[in-house]
Amino acid sequence: MNLNTSTLTAHELIEKLDGREITLEEVLSGLRERINKIDPQVKAYVRRNEPQAAVNPAAAGPLKGIPVTVKDNICTEGLNTECCSHILEGFRPPYDATVIRKLKSAGATILGLKANMDEFAFGSSTENSYFGPTHNPWRLDCVPGGSSGGSAAAVAADEAVFALGSDTGGSIRQPAAFCGVVGMKPTYGRVSRYGLIAFASSLDQIGPITKDVEDCSLLLGVISGHDPLDSTSVDAPVPDYGKSLDRDIKGLKIAIPKEYFVEGMEAQVKEALEEAVSELKKLGATVKEISLPHTKYAVPVYYIVATAEASSNLARFDGVQYGLRIKSENLIEMYKKTRGEGFGQEAKRRVILGTFALSHGYYEAYYLNALKVRTLIKRDFDGAFKEFDCIVTPTSPSAAFKIGEKVEDPLKMYLSDIYTISANLAGIPAISVPCGFTGDNLPVGLQILARPFDEGTLLKAAFAYEQATVWHKMKPKV
């Protein structure tokens, strides 16, 4: 049978593998061909000279050996894991992240190629990668979003069946929106962070980037659950997420925060959102406007908390044990040169910002206040979720922008995460699903947020919407 397997979703592949319509070898070679053909343009993967598939000896589980694409900041035993940073050059972790272990035991093949990303997940465009930018499959001169831009672009361009990303302030959802795929940031504590090279420990979550909502539920189910190796993972039962996919959202109470419509939202994004809202209404949901009054503080609070934690998390990259070491006359010089050469511009900027925010005399004014406002932001959501089942917003105020357009203006770049950051600060789950296109044929994403550990409702709403629309079926012409 000569089927183009690379366009299929994971659940379609499983069905066909179960029905013996295709073989795993066909799936793997189909993907390899697609990567070889497309990736020189998209550059979703790094280290393309490495072996492509790390064959999983236990390909017997429910995932049937289907390959999964992994972001370069998730530890894969024996495979380079460098956070797309010069400073981690050659780092091959001696262990698997918990999510990788879970995927392997569910029968997934871990793709040897790792997905491109902004260095240490610092960015919203994947331009901050040591290996160079990834291109948006919909328009190659545009960014794929970030920081999980490689994962999202690979899924969108059918160079991946499905992928793992990480989301600290929108790093799964924003690239998913920019590339026209589904991306979910689970509740903080839903998925183990063990083996995720930390950016900001209190905000980071690993999550799925997939071609449709069903794959999202599939992948989420595999990677979720309490992990004794991660003290911040929560010991709550993992529901069968497949059961949420019933298309029935009659009576679902949806809120739209008015604060999200103030400044910077592109007209076409607004239109797409409005159409999505009327679609949701058609499906039986009720939609009401609410206020999340502390929304305006989300970006500043985020950039204090995230950079403070990052400054400490990145301290270990010092040339002593692994990765890059620039030999020097003495220890201090070795530190300075290694970190000076090993970190890119944005990494340095964030480490310096975070160090400043934690410094004596500034800690109270910055970090401590940020923590307090973070609590207020969380309370906004707690209040809203007393009355509503979910909140919908655009995923990003704009569609994908041009490569190079915002690199000189970090503040403008930071604002592209304005709608996604709050979910990380509040620890709540959020999903981005495709909800239309701009006149430039660039995808737009709809973000849905829900109560902590209520990924089920997210999937339910997202699935109902997806099945009522055609956006997820659109493919870029690369």
Partner 1 sequence: MDYQAVIGLEVHAHLKTRTKAFCGCPTEFGAPANSQVCPVCLGFPGSLPVLNKAALDFAVKVALALNCTVQEFTKLDRKNYFYPDLPKNYQISQYDLPLSRNGFLDIFTGKTRKRIGITRVHLEEDAGKLIHQESVSLVDFNRSGIPLLEIVSEPDINSPQEAYAYLTALKSILEYLEVSDCDMEKGSLRCDANISVRKAGEKTLGTKAELKNMNSFKAVRDALDYEILRQSEEVASGNAVVQETRLWDAGKQKTLPMRAKEEAKDYRYFPEPDLPPFIIRAEAIEEVRKGIPEMPREKISRFMSDFGISEYDATILTSRKEDALFAEECIKEYPEKDKKTVTNWLIGPLLSEANNRNCALPGLRITAKRLLGLISLVERQEISGLSAKTVLTEMIDSGREAGEIIKEKGLSQVSDSASLESVADEVIRENVKSVADFKQGKESALMFLVGQAMKKSRGKANPKVIQEVLKRRLADA
Helix (H, G, I), strand (E, B) or coil at 191: strand
Q: Which region among 8-16, 145-153, 230-238, 288-296 touches partner 1 (by CB under 8 A)?
A: 230-238
CB neighbours (10 Å) of residue 398?
A: 18
Percent helix, strand, coil in the chain, to 5, is 40, 15, 45
Contact status: 198 vs partner 1 (CB under 8 A): yes
Subset of residues 316 to 335 that bind partner 1, contact rule: CB under 8 A: 316-318, 320-322, 331, 335
Mark residues 15-44: x for contact with partner 1 by CB under 8 A, - for none: ------------------------------
Tokens of 28: 């793997």
Contact status: 169 vs partner 1 (CB under 8 A): no
Say which residues have a Cβ less than 8 Å from residue 233's Cβ, sequence separation at least 6. Answer: 189, 190, 191, 192, 193, 194, 225, 226, 227
Q: How far is residue 23's CA from residue 142's CA, in Å, rounded to a whole number? A: 36
Element (H, E) at 433: strand 430-437
Q: Tokens 């495709």 — which residue?
A: 434
Subset of residues 82 to 141 that bind partner 1, contact rule: CB under 8 A: 83, 88, 91, 93-95, 97
Look up 192 and say whether it is catalytic: no
* CA distances to 4, 20, 57, 112 from 154, in Å: 16, 26, 24, 14
By residue count, the chain amounts to 478
Are the C-beta atoms of 244 and 460 separated by less than 8 Å?
A: yes
Contact status: 315 vs partner 1 (CB under 8 A): yes
Look up 171 and say whether it is catalytic: yes
Identity of residue 184: M
Look up 147 and say whether it is catalytic: yes
Tokens of 50: 């490495």
Identity of residue 307: T
Q: Which region among 135-143, 150-158, 227-235, 410-418 touches partner 1 (by CB under 8 A)?
A: 227-235
Smallest gap, in angstroms, from Cβ of residue 95 to partner 1?
Answer: 6
Contact status: 236 vs partner 1 (CB under 8 A): no
Would you say 14 or 110 has its CB closer to partner 1? 110
Say which residues have a Cβ less than 8 Å from residue 347's Cβ, sequence separation at least 6. Answer: 85, 119, 120, 122, 128, 314
Q: Which region among 146-154, 200-208, 396-404, 455-463 touches partner 1 (by CB under 8 A)?
A: 200-208
Subset of residues 280 to 309 that bind partner 1, contact rule: CB under 8 A: 308-309
Residue among 124, 171, 224, 398 flagged as catalytic: 171
Q: How far is residue 133's CA from residue 125's CA, in Å, rounded to a whole number? A: 8
Question: What does R_g of the chain's alpha carbons equal in angstroms?
Answer: 21
Q: Which region among 143-151, 242-250, 357-365, 423-431 touches partner 1 (by CB under 8 A)?
A: 357-365
Contact status: 261 vs partner 1 (CB under 8 A): no
Smallest gap, in angstroms, from Cβ of residue 353 to partner 1?
Answer: 13
Q: Which of 29, 52, 202, 369 binds partner 1 (CB under 8 A)?
A: 202
Would you say 49 or 231 has its CB closer to partner 1? 231
CB neighbours (10 Å) of residue 19?
A: 8
Q: Which region among 189-197, 374-382, 398-406, 456-464 touches partner 1 (by CB under 8 A)?
A: 189-197
Q: Which residue ranges make up the site for partner 1 (CB under 8 A)?
A: 74-75, 81, 83, 88, 91, 93-95, 97, 193-198, 200-202, 228-232, 308-309, 311-312, 315-318, 320-322, 331, 335, 355, 358-360, 363, 367
The residues carrying an active-site annotation are 71, 147, 171
